[in-house]
Structure 1
């Protein structure tokens, strides 16, 4: 089976990996270099932030993220030499209004990753001595981890580029789906080059709305910008991830600390602005005042693929038999990426699915108005 995947972010790369490992021939297309858009820019927390604020469909896929990435890291590391650096830091959440609901969520769902305890100040200092004195309590999630997403992407790309069943087409935008008789018969570049495949998968993230005119349906996915900044501290200086008011600190093993994040509807702009950066910095220093003694080494922005309730579209597109979707993960593309790709592979190859696929079905797009011709 020959499959073309349009978009080489985490969704496209993981989908390619799942399918190629099952013996499918896979072509991956991207309008720029692989792994350079939202997937690279994110924080890599292997859980939705405040999972009780999300739809159950999001948490259902996210719960598999850590175990699947651990499995893939063990397989790919000996071949690529690139460690995903899955960092088992745990997380502290300081939002008092979330203490009860977080503890109740843990008791209700019994998901290993979401087990938590309420800590007093003495316990808090034992787990993370750098927390501001203003916080006397926190809920602690000891099982939460983060993955160093640039390294995850580098390893996936390295592995796939040497895979005998995979071809990469970077800096090769696809701007046309050649659809006849409710089937995709080819995909076309702006210069008229046509590629053929048995199935086509759209993993185009924040750019997915582009395909509306090709499928004649509204696709309610659009970019939402998120800005970040990066501190450099000594190795293992900050022992846990921290979160307050949707702002977070994510420590990497080498002492880098990723800080974020903002939300702005500003089209496809990835420009950072001083006010937003200052807001992020203030929130981070509010949690860990000692950070101000360390240098900020980078600032950047990425584009999240916003979708209704953050529930991705995974499965066969309506009315086109060989066109598939895996997009619309909003803020949780990394933590849902591995299981979303596994589900897509199971649907394409008619295997037993990891979860009930109906909640993610692109048939939801039928409820949208037809795009005007």
Structure 2
């Protein structure tokens, strides 16, 4: 076992799962979060275990997504076993309606041997009776799941709290890095410095600001997304559906999530009436019966926006001891299992699960 002490900055799903993976490989892990763990993008997202339009992404994102999709069921089983909290990986399939690039989507699926196929719209209405009319075409992927992200966060936190070599500090904002020459040996907080052999920056939308303390320019910025939540019968919506960039996600207990907006508003997380009305209109277009349902939740979160949605995973050049696992944009929950396993492999010197080159910070961040 490596005798390392690792400090992780950021307690979203990426930071939590990185800690979970590293705990069995290193001597100790300290995780710091500026608020409560998992309360930002990880809590606010929808939890579809797929990029919204997977064929529109680069092979780098696809490689992480496919590994993670295959791994999620066993991760959920393991977490349920050790914590008693079920992250609810719920395999419902996903229908895309009236795609502009349906041909490209089907060609992508054939090329990568993914089970995406076109289906007659009448079949969709048979499978999802509550779906609205007015749609003429559909493609379907049967094996896509959604994960109940707040429960995933709770389960990961509980698993970490039970590990004797893991410490979690909430309400512990990192203000700077501690340096010894060119080496990063820890981070500064209001309660004092926290030192380690390695520091992993997994601070989501705040990662770019923190790396700026070192004079490095990481193109990760906050991108606001708003969601609304309805409560219906548990069998009301049997599958996820997506049209015009908006989606409906069923949870096992009948909660229906509708999302999401894409807003470049800095760090403002205020839910707005404009977004509420827009999301309600999308909800009713997708599922007319929701016109009579009560909105039981409306919130906003900040995604870590990055160019092409390709995360930064690996060591920071010329700053020994500093590692990145951030910049997942809209796909943090989708890509988390693969991203965190890859970071763990690289940090402890194991053979990486996939080619790490596309995610390396080298050449992708400016000094």
Deviation of the 1:211 alpha carbon: 2.2
Deviation of the 1:334 alpha carbon: 0.3
**Equivalent runs, 1:273-288 vs 2, <5 Å:** 273-288=272-287
1:49: which partner in 2?
52
Contact 2:206 2:221 (C-alpha < 8 Å) held by counterparts: yes
**Equivalent runs, 1:1-373 vs 2, <5 Å:** 1-111=4-114, 115-191=115-191, 193-366=192-365, 368=366, 370=367
Deviation of the 1:276 alpha carbon: 1.4
Q: How far apart, CA to CA, are the structure 2 residues paired with 1:235 and 1:306?
A: 34
Q: How far apart, CA to CA, are the structure 1 residues paired with 2:132 and 2:194?
A: 57
Q: How far apart, CA to CA, are the structure 1 residues paired with 2:360 and 2:98?
A: 34
CA RMSD of aligned residues (A): 1.2
Moved over 3 A (4+): none
Q: How far apart, CA to CA, are the structure 1 residues paired with 2:282 and 2:32?
A: 38
Q: How far apart, CA to CA, are the structure 2 residues paired with 1:24 and 1:325?
A: 20
Q: How far apart, CA to CA, are the structure 1 residues paired with 2:99 and 2:81?
A: 44
Deviation of the 1:23 alpha carbon: 4.2
Deviation of the 1:21 alpha carbon: 2.5
Contact 1:124 1:137 (C-alpha < 8 Å) held by counterparts: no
1:115-139: CA deviations, max 9, x gaps? 1221113211221111112113211
Q: How far apart, CA to CA, are the structure 1 residues paired with 2:161 and 2:184?
A: 26
Deviation of the 1:188 alpha carbon: 1.3
Contact 2:43 2:150 (C-alpha < 8 Å) held by counterparts: yes
Q: How far apart, CA to CA, are the structure 1 residues paired with 2:246 and 2:94?
A: 12
Three-state SS of the structure 2 residue aligned to 1:26 is: strand
Q: How far apart, CA to CA, are the structure 1 residues paired with 2:328 and 2:211?
A: 18
Q: How far apart, CA to CA, are the structure 2 residues paired with 1:76 and 1:124?
A: 34
Three-state SS of the structure 2 residue aligned to 1:68 is: helix
Three-state SS of the structure 2 residue aligned to 1:211 is: helix
Deviation of the 1:236 alpha carbon: 2.2
Deviation of the 1:67 alpha carbon: 2.6
Q: How far apart, CA to CA, are the structure 1 residues paired with 2:185 and 2:334?
A: 33
For structure 2, the 5+ residue unaligned runs are none
Deviation of the 1:214 alpha carbon: 2.9
For structure 1, the 5+ residue unaligned runs are none
